[in-house]
Amino acid sequence: MTQTSTDRTNAQESSYTFTEVAYHFQVTPDVLRGWLRRFAQVLSASAKADPPRFSTADVAALGMVKKLLEQGFQDEQINSQLTPKRIIPDEPASLALSTDQARQLVEGKAALLPQALGDILSAIANGQQTVLNSQSTVREIVGVVVQDNFNLKEENRKLRDRMLELERALAEYQRREETRKERLESRLRGLENTVAALQQQIAQLIQFQRQSQQKKRSWW
């Protein structure tokens, strides 16, 4: 991957807020602030700004921090493991020249040393480029995984909101049913009272009619 392609990838890389990262790792803001203070050297400059913005690489680094902390590692060990190491080539043993070899180089074969150094530097450069390409690939993969994780969390949040809406709607429906039930029971009690009053009136009318008939018979 060329430097231009790497810069373009970094420019398009997503960034996340302090709240999003705390929610992603399910930690409190105080815990996340403690991580930023204790492991600042493994984070980008934007993660240490005010307000902080976290790249996918920052999120991946904090994920490793959390994992190592859970495994019982100390802060110094974590910083040592996550801080990028400089590649310092050792001087090849093949360059340790004897007196005769040095004299031969002085006498006309000095061209061998620049060629050997050129080969060594070329090998180191190729190795460094391979490492950079591998790191870039890993960053892209981690970015995709982190983004998918955020998307899943967002879908879960929407699903929970929908479930809460359904629960509220169900509670409102049950409340309305209870109210209608109470109204029906009240009307039913009113009808029962009315029927009882009518029955009492009918009984009084029958009794009055019987008394009237008995009075008529007594007259005759």
Domain boundaries, the chain: 12-167
What is the distance between the alpha carbons of residues 106 and 145, in angstroms, rounded to a whole number? Answer: 58
Architecture of domain 12-167: Orthogonal Bundle (1.10)
pLDDT at 41 over 60: yes
pLDDT above 70 as % of the chain: 77
pLDDT at 51 over 90: yes
Tens-digit pLDDT profile for residues 93-129: 344 445 654 555 455 444 444 555 666 777 788 878 8
Q: Which of 85, 86, 80, 105 is nearest to 95 (CA)?
A: 105
Taking all residues of the chain, what is their mean pLDDT, rounded to a whole number? 80
Q: Quote the distance between the C-alpha of residue 46 and its chain's center.
A: 20
Helices 112-219 and 3-12: crossing angle in degrees, nearest 10, is: 20
Residue 115: per-residue pLDDT: 53
The answer to whether the beta carbons of residues 58 and 65 sit under 8 Å apart is no
In this prediction, residues 51-56 reach a mean pLDDT of 95
Q: Read off the tokens for 106.
A: 């002085």
What is the distance between the alpha carbons of residues 33 and 57, in angstroms, rounded to a whole number? Answer: 17
Q: Is the entire prediction scored with pTM above 0.85? A: no
Residue 57: per-residue pLDDT: 93
The answer to whether the beta carbons of residues 57 and 139 sit under 8 Å apart is yes
Tens-digit pLDDT profile for residues 113-172: 455 566 677 778 887 887 788 787 878 888 888 888 888 889 889 999 999 999 999 899
For residue 210, the one-letter residue type is R
pLDDT at 82 over 70: yes
16 burial level (CB within 10 Å; 0-12, 13-18, 19+): buried
